[in-house]
Each structure stands twice: as structure tokens, then as C-alpha cells.
Amino acid sequence: MMNTPAHEHAAVAIGRLRLDGLLSIPADAHGTVIFAHGSGSSRSSPRNARVAQALQDAGFATLLFDLLTEAEAADRSNVFDVHLLGSRLLQATKWATEQEALSGLPVGYFGASTGAAAALIAAAARPPHLKAVVSRGGRPDLAGLALAEVAVPTLLIVGGEDPDVLQLNRQALKRMACLARLSVVPGATHLFEEPGALEQVITQSAAWFASHLVPMDRRHCA
């Protein structure tokens, strides 16, 4: 029977800032997946929402939140400041793990486009509960020197018809010392808009998080 999560709007505390978010928690959640969207996107990204729904159905809590305030997002330099975004993601992780319903749960990051670089920069800081990262059409190359410091299993998913980003992911993969894998979705372009493309992203992401966030004795239930 499908596990219906509780959805609630959240004010994610980042120092004195409060960033709008949507927190969804299924009963007996296996872990928490925090999303980092790309430039020009927000917590309302329809693609990330579809991924989040599937992860909730698989028993994961999800947090989609705006990494910038409206005023900050109006400055395009902030939108592409992956180090600022990575810092925000780290602080959001601390906020999430302090919520009673999520306390003690392992954490995963799901980053899209430039948000993937932010996720890897945050991962390089090695927050205590982080166990895995998934990048969808990401720009891991923008994480720079942080790539070599990432210690958690990382899955890079790229469309086969997104040649420039695919090449950048291949180069980034060579710079990573952790367990890392590149998965190419045949026929998919950057936004995975082709029939069945996003479904492949969902299937692979759910399997990756199940493998690395769910304890072995609970995986038959995930």
C-alpha cells in the first residue's frame, strides 16, 4: 500500500533568513533527500517535483526549498554562485536534521544543473548525516577542487543528447576519489523532456538512495 506523506510548507532557517520550502515526510521514512535546483528554477520545478513524489512513494522524506530569497535571486550573479548555494544547502541540511521528525535520518542530495555543483560543494564539507548524492543533468565541473573532497557515493545522470554537459561530467568523474558512477540516458537532452527519460532518472535515483541511505536490514521494505 502506498505510503502517503504529510506535506507542509516550511521556513528553512538560514541564519537570520527564512527560505520558503516544501517538506514531505512519509510515515517511517528511510531517509531525507534535499533538493538543490538549477539556475532559473525554484522549489516549484515540475521535474524535481516528479522526482520528489517518486522518492516519497519509495519511503523517503523530501525537502524542496528556494536557495535564495526573491531579492537575492534578482541578482543573476547570486544564481550562479555555486559556493553561496552550497553554503545554503549545508545550512538547510543542519536545519532539516534538527527537525524532530527527521532527526537521525540519513541524508541524500539531489542536484540539478548548477544545483548539482552546489550539492557537491556541500558534500565536500562532509556534513555528518550525508550518505549519497545524485546529479541530474548537472554541472559537477563547477564544484572545482571540492570534487576531490566528496566522500559519499555519487551518481551523475546525463542525457545522451546533451554532449557538452556529458563531456564535462566525464571530466569531473575523473577528479572524484569517492565511489562515483556516470549514467547516460540514451536519447535524452538536458531537461530529460523526452518520453520515458525522466522516468529513467527517477528509477536510477530511487535505487541509488535506497542502496546508500537505507540500512541493509530495511531494504526489502524500501
pLDDT digit string (tens) for 23-59? Answer: 999 998 999 999 998 766 667 678 889 999 999 999 9
182 is a domain residue: yes
1 is a domain residue: no
Average pLDDT over the chain reads 91
The phi and psi torsions of 160 (rounded to 5 degrees) equal -65, -20
43 is a domain residue: yes
Mention every residue, 6+ apart, whose C-beta is less than 8 A from residue 117.
Answer: 82, 85, 86, 111, 138, 139, 140, 141, 142, 143
220 is a domain residue: no
Residue 222 has pLDDT above 50, yes or no: no
pLDDT in tens, 127-149: 999 999 999 999 999 999 999 99
The phi and psi torsions of 84 (rounded to 5 degrees) equal -60, -45
What pLDDT, on a 0 to 100 scale, did the predictor assign at position 161? Answer: 98
53 is a domain residue: yes
Closest CA to 204 of 176, 172, 181: 181
What pLDDT, on a 0 to 100 scale, did the predictor assign at position 134? Answer: 98
Residue 184 maps to which CATH number?
3.40.50.1820
The structure's pTM equals 0.93
Residue 193 has pLDDT above 50, yes or no: yes
What pLDDT, on a 0 to 100 scale, did the predictor assign at position 218? Answer: 56
| Residues of the domain holding 180 | 6-215
174 is a domain residue: yes
211 is a domain residue: yes
Mention every residue, 6+ apart, whose C-beta is less than 8 A from residue 203.
Answer: none
62 is a domain residue: yes
Provide the greatest CA pair distance for the chain: 47
Q: How many domains does the chain divide into?
A: 1
Instruction: Kindly state the helix (H) or strand (E) to which residue 134 belongs, with its residue range.
Output: strand 130-136
